[in-house]
Amino acid sequence: MDRVSEKRRAKRIPVELKLEVSSLFRQDHEQVANVNAPIEVLNVSRTGIGFKSESVLPLGFYFNATLHIMKEENANLYCVVKIIREEKDKDGVNIYGCEIIGFPSILNYVFDDLEASVK
């Protein structure tokens, strides 16, 4: 995971989230449906997400993510993320780095609050 952390552009905040990738897509309209890959989100920042999965996911593909990282029960962040890095941890589990695409700057307060809570 060290190589992933070297490329950080924003402060990563450790989180405990379990999600599932149901489908993947690329800008050229290529789709991979019924992926059903469980993922464990390790950290999140205003520019990206780090997660691990036993599934093999292709680099350069996108998926829709719903992140529940705020205290309010029904407050979710909906975003599209692009898989940009992959490596194996010491146990052979895939660790991925993803870039959040098109995150509106008006929602930066969410990460301001998150960053302040982990100082």
- Over the stretch 85-94, which tens digit does the pLDDT of each residue have? 999 999 999 9
Q: Are 110 and 70 in contact (CB under 8 A)?
A: yes
* Cα(45)–Cα(13) distance, integer angstroms: 6
Least confident of 4-8, 16-20, 56-60: 4-8
SS (H, E, C) 48-105: EEEEEECCCCCCCCEEEEEECCCCCCCCCEEEEEEEEEEEECCCCCEEEEEEEECCCH
CB-based contacts of 75, cutoff 8 Å, min separation 6: 68
pLDDT tens digits for range 36-69: 888 898 988 888 899 999 999 999 999 988 877 6
In the chain, where are the structural domains located? 2-117
3-state class (DSSP) for residue 5: helix
Are 83 and 70 in contact by the 8 Å Cβ rule? The answer is no
What is the fold of 2-117? Thrombin, subunit H (2.40.10)
Instruction: Supply the pTM of this predicted model.
Output: 0.77
Question: Higher confidence at residue 64 or residue 83?
Answer: 83
